[in-house]
């Protein structure tokens, strides 16, 4: 998945926006938020921040493609999820649902996320 997102972010006219859990990425078991931002540049990477004095946890796993297709999955975007775990996912062709989810996340950005600078 990471290679596909990296390649997509490099293509002209393609916008990649990734939302990551700051607590999970800070655990040292995978790439840091800065690593992800560098890998997906020029895409935009946002990480969760504190809300009401507590860290926001982001457990959602989905990809929206062309504001039309949704890939919703139980899989974390990690090596073990891609190569070792049994996961379940679904692909939906529903532009209205894709755009609604994108709007919901966009509305929450200012409250729950902060942009990760690229190095």
Question: Residues 14-43: pLDDT tens digits?
Answer: 888 889 888 887 777 778 889 889 999 999
Rounded Cα distance between 98 and 63, Å, is 9
Q: For the domain that residue 83 is a member of, what is the CATH number?
A: 3.30.870.10
CA 41 from chain center: how many Å? 13
Q: Name the residue among 83, 81, 16, 11 with its Cα closest to residue 73.
A: 81
Q: How many domains does the chain have?
A: 1
Span 49-108, pLDDT tens digits: 999 999 999 888 888 888 899 999 888 777 777 788 888 999 999 999 999 999 999 999
pTM: 0.83
Q: Residue 27, exposed/middle/buried by CB under 10 A (0-12, 13-18, 19+)?
A: exposed
pLDDT of 119: 67
The domain of 66 spans 2-115
Rounded Cα distance between 70 and 97, Å, is 8
- For residues 14 and 43, the answer to whether their CB atoms sit within 8 Å is no
């Amino acid at each position: 998945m990471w290679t596909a997102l990296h390649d997509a972010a490099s293509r002209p006219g393609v916008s990649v926006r990734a939302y990551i859990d700051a607590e999970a990425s800070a655990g040292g078991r995978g790439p840091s938020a800065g690593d992800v931002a560098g890998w997906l540049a020029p895409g935009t990477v946002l990480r969760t921040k504190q809300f009401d004095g507590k860290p926001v946890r982001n457990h959602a796993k989905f990809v929206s493609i062309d504001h039309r297709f949704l890939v919703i999955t139980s899989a974390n975007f990690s090596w073990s999820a891609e190569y070792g775990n049994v996961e379940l996912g679904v692909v939906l062709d529903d532009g209205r649902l894709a755009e609604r989810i994108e709007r919901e996340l966009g509305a929450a950005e200012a409250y729950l996320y902060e942009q990760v600078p690229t190095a």
